[in-house]
Amino acid sequence: MKKIINEEMFEIIQYLENELKNNNEISIEVLNPNVKDDIYAGEKLKIENNKFIYRSYKSWSDLAEILFCKMLVIHLYENTVILKFQKLNKLDSFHNDLNDEKNEKYGENSTFFRINKNEEPVFVYTYLNALKNVKIEEKRNILNLGINKADEFEVIKKLVDEKILNEMNLVGIDYSKSAIEYSKNRFPDENFTFYNHDINRLNELDLKKADLLISIGTLQSSGLNFKLLFMDLIQNYLEDKGSIILGFPNCRWINGEMIYGAKAANYSYSEQSVLYKDVYFCKKYLQQKKYRVTLTGKNYLFLTATSIK
């Protein structure tokens, strides 16, 4: 185990990268981030005749994330702490799961189904603000595409008063049959409706135009024509003065960890050109349609649009 005292971050990264080539986990002893308040990363503290360079827990957590590791605190002393970096198994990810007649990549028995974005603060905090931005309490017809197990509806249910919720009609659509059955059992009330259907063929459903359209991490799926589908949704399934909340994934899920940064094919590192291209297309299109558009978030980029007509 290496004790980190006054090594610069450049040196620490090189050390950990080299060690992780041959080891699945590495422990290091570092300055206890709780040792002093009001201090910045890189500032030096003299403790027990050593000049330590200070870093916060967030700095160490960020480092673990970019090295595709899980960080654990395994021993806490007065002035130092031992951190363990466990290498993540990149094959343990829903992104690698099959999707065919025998396997539902997003179904109830899938790896994806185990993910609860509502327990990830960087997701749910931004989503809550998006709901407040569109004045969710005033919405009555909500359409969610790619609903899966209806986590987005769970947040709405907790956010608005019960009387207001009962006045809403909430419709969720997903291609996964088992996910839709789960959602039906989760929200059995009459004002919740769920369809097991391909969103490429929404015209086959008798859908009322929505005053709030939600889609989190779905419209960029490989089986969809993103631009054509997006424009069709705005033109044919959204009321004239309706609102939109779109969530664009800027992360990967590996070994139960949400790792920042969109992953493009043929890149070993995060490459976000396609992500920003799609976000900008939606933003420009909606602005031309007289919508006020905001972009927020981190691991998920939230595009929120409200009409200014």
pLDDT at 163: 97
How many residues are given for the chain? 309
Give the amino acid at 174: D
Whether the pTM exceeds 0.85: the reply is yes
**Which tokens in the block code for residue 60?**
């160490």
How far is 273 from 267, CA to CA, in rounded Å? 12
Residue 213, φ and ψ in degrees, nearest 5: -110, 125
What would the CATH number be for the domain defined by 95-307?
Answer: 3.40.50.150
How far is 40 from 54, CA to CA, in rounded Å? 7
Contact 124, 130 (CB under 8 A): no
3-state helix, strand, coil in the chain (%, to 5): 35, 30, 35
How far is 10 from 2, CA to CA, in rounded Å? 16
Give the amino acid at 156: I
**DSSP letters spanning 38-51:** S--TT-EEEETTEE
**Which tokens in the block code for residue 171?**
């419709």
Spell out the residues 6+ positions from residue 292 whose beta carbon is closer than 8 angstroms to its own. 305, 306, 307, 308
**In the 8-state DSSP scheme, what is residue 305?**
E
pLDDT at 222: 79
Tell me the torsion sign for CA atoms 122, 86, 68, 82.
Answer: positive
Walk along the chain (309 residues) and give the pLDDT tens digit of each residue. 999 999 999 999 999 999 999 999 999 999 999 998 899 999 999 998 899 999 999 999 999 999 999 999 999 999 999 999 999 998 778 777 665 555 688 899 888 999 999 999 999 999 999 999 999 999 999 999 999 999 999 999 999 999 999 999 999 999 999 999 999 999 999 999 999 999 999 999 999 999 999 999 999 887 899 999 999 999 999 999 999 999 999 999 999 999 999 887 777 788 999 999 999 999 999 999 999 999 999 999 999 999 997
Contact 249, 259 (CB under 8 A): no
Nearest to 215 by CA among 204, 205, 202: 202
pLDDT at 105: 85
Nearest to 62 by CA among 71, 54, 72: 71
**In the 8-state DSSP scheme, what is residue 107?**
S
How far is 262 from 126, CA to CA, in rounded Å? 18
